[in-house]
Amino acid sequence: MADYPLSAEAIKNEFKRAGIHFVVALPDRVTSHHLLKGLMADPEFKVVQVCKEDEGISICSGLYAAGHKSVFMMQYTGFLDSINAIRGVAVEGHFPVCMVVGLLGKEPDLAPTKSEKLGVKITEPILDVLGIEHHLIERNADTQAIAPAIDKAFASSSPTAILIGREPR
Amino acid sequence: MMKRDEMLKVFARQRKDEIAVAVYTAAQEITHIAPNDLNYTFVGAMGQGSSHALGLALGRPDKKVVVFDGDGSLLMNLGSLVTIANQAPKNYVHCLCENGCYETNGSVPTPRSGQIRFADLAKTAGYKKTFEISDLAEWERELPNILKEEGPVFVTLKVEAGEAYPENFRRLYSLEHRENFRRKLASS
């Protein structure tokens, strides 16, 4: 495990560094086993499970309006399924929804836009069209971008996307 | 059957310090009938009112959150009933304005219009208490009890369009009003 390139603990610590308590989530095969289950077991976090991803966009927005920071974990399929809520609530509504998106099936160390998987390939271009900043997390060194990205989202009242490029362990 | 604006007037008269989340026509109407800094109309996408309200209820467990949802809207986000029941916020009151149609979109009937017991769906999902109200006097009488109940509570309100109120979509989604809501909620 010591040589494995991406640690779930490092991501969790970034959430803590950003002051996250609420984690809204729909299980994503990339992140569920080590990261999501780890968050569920950690009393510092309150995990809110949803049945469909657009709920998560809105729950995070309600939490923000009530004075809380949160992140929303989902698979890229759920991101694609939630585009209208992301457009209407997060982008046009200026809610700082911080999406943590697992890129299931992305080839290791290959740019998502070069992926053979269509859903992975189109995720970043869609975020670009929506004007949403995104950060690819594939190695432990990348994780240090997570807390600043969350901080920036809340400071600017705009959404951000943390793309998880391989399974964190 | 109640006129929706009359139903909202009853709520306005009995309201204390509750957050009110409203969608579509109810959102337009509540800004006229029950103007209040704790009106939350920034839902942004159809079906999402109940989920915004859940975030508010979880974030401020000390404040009662009353959502005026629509039947077309809830049909678009039925899973939210399960999500809400699973979190079981004691301060959550889910009022469903059932008019049997997509009123804003040409009043086309909803699928199975008038044949679904939404309160039964909520009960099955795990809401603690459900009500079905179709009469204004009953709403006036029951509302104090509904607001005292431990949530999540679900209330089907059989309504039809009442008086027409001016629409102002910019007000509904205004960032200025959203930030004012945040400030007022933080200090209340």
pTM equals 0.98
Chain A hits for B87, CB-CB cut-off 8 Å, are: 48
Let me know: does B36 contact B166? Beta carbons within 8 Å. Answer: no
Task: For residue A125, give both structure tokens.
Answer: 């271009």
CA–CA min distance B23, chain A (Å): 13
ipTM of the complex: 0.97
Residue B109 has pLDDT above 80, yes or no: yes
Chain B hits for A52, CB-CB cut-off 8 Å, are: 77, 79
The alpha carbon of A23 is separated from its chain's Cα centroid by a whole number of angstroms, namely 10
Chain B hits for A54, CB-CB cut-off 8 Å, are: 45, 47-48, 51, 77
CA–CA min distance A21, chain B (Å): 10
Cα(A13)–Cα(A144) distance, integer angstroms: 10
Residue B159 has pLDDT above 90, yes or no: yes
In chain B, what are the domains? 2-186 (3.40.50.970)
pLDDT at B90: 98
What percent of chain B stands above pLDDT 70? 100
Of chain A residues 126-145, which have a CB less than 8 A from chain B? none
Instruction: Please state the φ and ψ torsions of residue B52, each to the nearest 5 degrees.
Output: -55, -45
Give the DSSP letter of residue A116.
S
CA–CA min distance B114, chain A (Å): 25
Q: What is the dotted CATH code of the domain comprising A8-164? A: 3.40.50.970
Chain A hits for B52, CB-CB cut-off 8 Å, are: 58-59, 61-62, 65
Query: What residue spans define the domains of chain A?
Result: 8-164
One digit per residue, the tens of pLDDT, for chain A of length 169 reads 668 999 999 999 999 999 999 999 999 999 999 999 999 999 999 999 999 999 999 999 999 999 999 999 999 999 999 999 999 999 999 999 999 999 999 999 999 999 999 999 999 999 999 999 999 999 999 999 999 999 999 999 999 999 999 999 9
Question: Measured between CB atoms, which of A46, A58, A94 is closest to B52?
Answer: A58
Nearest CA-CA partner of B10 in B162, B183, B182: B162
CB neighbours of residue B148 within 10 Å: 9
Strand segments, DSSP code E, in chain B are 2-3, 19-22, 39-40, 65-70, 92-98, 101-102, 108-109, 129-133, 153-160
